Structure 1
Amino acid sequence: MRRRTRTLAAAVLTAIVVGGTAGWAFTGTQTPVTGPPPGTASWRADTSLGRPLPDPVTSTPRQTAAFFADLTDEQRQQLVRRHASVVGNLDGAPPALRYEANALAIRAGHDPRYRHLAGAGRQILAFDPRGRGQVAEVFGNLTKTQHVSVVVPGSDIDASTFDRTKDRDGALAGMARSLRAATGNRTAVVAWAGYTTPVGLGLDAATGRLADAGADRLTRFTRGLEAAGVAEPALFCHSYGSVVCGLAAHEVRVSDIVVFGSPGMRAHNEAQLHTRARVWAAKDPSDWISKVPNVELAGLGHGADPTDPDFGARRVDASDAHGHTGYLAPGTASLRAFAAIAEGDVR
């Protein structure tokens, strides 16, 4: 009984302590954004090409890629003009076409929070203004490089905080830029804020509800990259993002899964992830995540610490990183190791 009480207390503590990269207020629960992108009804009703358009829900990314490959340039442009918000989020569509479509959708939305995302040179691979907003941005040439990485963020990241200037190394776009720079800009990196993240402290951060929804979206996103001819990516998963990656591990087709500042992956060990990818884990000595009990009880907590030797992941040196968001800070051992993984230079 005493042991059960200690475990329950640890689970409650997890609910209190597990948080994100910013925003320490207690908050209500978030409603995950799921389903097809805005404008889908109009897309489904469009018969202008004399053939059905690929359904965003039922068509696979491979079917979507085959559909666009069969179109003329003018037909593709017609769809971008008529259905920018759908084309911009259609997994399997050509990345360059998605960049163009999302720039149009962002400008047409007239929301001042997102206007900067349509700036010159930005490559927005996904944009959904619903809820707090979701966005994915590409740094580098996604279709012409042999090495691609996808950075999956933790709590408090959305379209408005995606590239905040405060805590640049901890902001998602800053992490992606830092990782690419550490590879000598030889890789492409996707900053993927493509799921509804928890906000602040509360039950969302201590349960897997939002991670479940995020895992589905991450799986489809990575399959869309594959269908579009993009090299098999490596996943870099921060904080609560590592829960997302853990739940998606058995379905995503990736070379590596790297978790850092992780509260757990909803698995007792690497074998339970059921992935062929190499699994890596990093945690620096000053990261507050170490105070989070690694338990899972009645839906609370995220399970074993991936950096525990018994978990079975490959350990990444993070001894000189600082805090919960310093793993990709320039000059750190963890960033150097992450860059080597991103370039496929480790075995």
Structure 2
Amino acid sequence: MRPITRTRFGRTLVAAALSAAVVAGTAGWASGSSQEPVTGAPVGTAAWRADGLPDPERMTPDQVAAYFHGLSPARQRELVRSHPTVVGNLDGVPLALRYAANARTTGGRFAGEGQVLAYDPRGRGQAVLVYGDLARAEHVAVIVPGSDIDAGDLAPLTRKATALRAATNDRTAVVAWAGYTTPVGVGIDAATGDLAEAGAGRLVRFTEGLRAVGAAEPALFCHSYGSVVCGVAAHRLKAKDVVAIASPGMRADDVTALNTTARVWAAKDPTDWIDRVPYVEFAGLGHGSDPAAPEFGARRVPAADAQGHDGYFAPGTSSLRAFAAIAEGDVR
């Protein structure tokens, strides 16, 4: 029994050391509080079911789209009035109906921002904002954020979205997707994959919903912990491009392991503190290989003039110009 005990003790020490390295190994990492992911059916689903309406948790976005297509305009408007929290958050519902439903539930909270495609008040709050005409745009970009983004603090995300849209001369519809529970700070939640797993399911359903309503296949721009979400979701995503920006890892050894048909890109500037985080994965801690390393196999995005962890979308940077070209399909 003694050798086994020593082995287990050794593994415990390794795990503890790795945890300390991943969470506190650089000045960029900070403490964070543990978060419970918000998942499941939209708020108000119980009342929706009680009215004899089809169970949202049993419907794919394609089935949702077909159901609403079969309703008269008057019945659609009635559901917006009677069940706005479900209509506004159900992937596959026509975009105009979702915008109308969320206008009712948010009460102008996001006035001056993009159109509200989703709003969930549970937990810290989640919101999805759209800049441009998502229904008609030839190109669509979705920005998936990392830590500390929620409905109460969307500013860092919306700045990225508006910068990317401007860089495409307003030709690309850009979605600011704060549609999952992000880590707070960069503590244990950011060093593990639990929130990413929950977020990945929501992101997959969102991209399926875009396809169901006829929107263009998106390019995903996944920043920091958001790239972990995209990595976990990659094999199921309906996307033409996946861009890992300032990534701590995508929970994959290389591009092949992502098992995606999307083109995979990576951007990391030399001043970014994320580069000092250990690219390891052990006992659920850490997120694996560096997507920006040559051996990972991602296409490299120039980012030498981006500054720090959050400067990749700054106007005039080579990284933002490259993101715009990817969003518009101008690079092969």
The normalised TM-score by structure 1 is 0.89
Does residue 256 of the first structure (1) align with residue 244 of the second (2)?
no
Report what 1:112 is aligned to. none
Q: Which amino acid aligns with 2:157?
A: L
Per-residue CA deviations over 1:138-196 (Å, capped at 9, x if unaligned) read 00000101100110000000001112xxxxxxx11111111111001001010000000
Change (3 A) 1:19 1:139: farther
CA distance in 1, matches of 2:288, 2:192: 11
Q: 1:11 touches 1:293 (CA, 8 Å); kept in 2?
A: no
Report what 1:32 is aligned to. 37
Change (3 A) 1:18 1:185: farther
How far is the alpha carbon of 1:72 from its aligned partner?
1.5
Does residue 69 of the first structure (1) align with residue 54 of the second (2)?
no
Select the residue among 120, 123, 129 that pairs with 1:137: 129
The normalised TM-score by structure 2 is 0.93
User: Which 4+ stretches in 1 moved above 4 angstroms?
Assistant: 3-8, 17-20
Report what 2:210 is aligned to. 225
How far is the alpha carbon of 1:197 from its aligned partner?
0.3
Q: Which amino acid aligns with 1:105?
A: T
Report what 2:324 is aligned to. 339
Change (3 A) 1:261 1:287: same
Change (3 A) 1:303 1:121: closer
Report what 1:42 is aligned to. 47
Report what 1:95 is aligned to. 95
CA distance in 1, matches of 2:19, 2:33: 19
| Cα RMSD after superposing both structures | 1.9
Q: How many residue pairs were aligned?
A: 323
Report what 1:200 is aligned to. 185
CA distance in 1, matches of 2:24, 2:41: 33
CA distance in 1, matches of 2:192, 2:27: 11
Report what 2:159 is aligned to. 174
Identity %: 62
Q: 2:193 touches 2:284 (CA, 8 Å); kept in 1?
A: yes
CA distance in 2, matches of 1:67, 1:16: 50
Report what 1:116 is aligned to. 109
What are the residue-to-residue correspondences of 1:5-20 with 2, within 5 Å?
9-17=17-25
Q: Secondary structure at the match of 1:310?
A: helix
CA distance in 1, matches of 2:23, 2:328: 37
What are the residue-to-residue correspondences of 1:271-310 with 2, within 5 Å?
271-310=256-295
Per-residue CA deviations over 1:239-282 (Å, capped at 9, x if unaligned) read 00000000000001100000111000000100000000000000
How far is the alpha carbon of 1:18 from its aligned partner?
8.2
Higher helix fraction: Structure 1 or Structure 2?
2
Structure 1 unaligned spans of 5+: 48-52, 108-114, 164-170
How far is the alpha carbon of 1:121 from its aligned partner?
6.9
How far is the alpha carbon of 1:116 from its aligned partner?
2.6
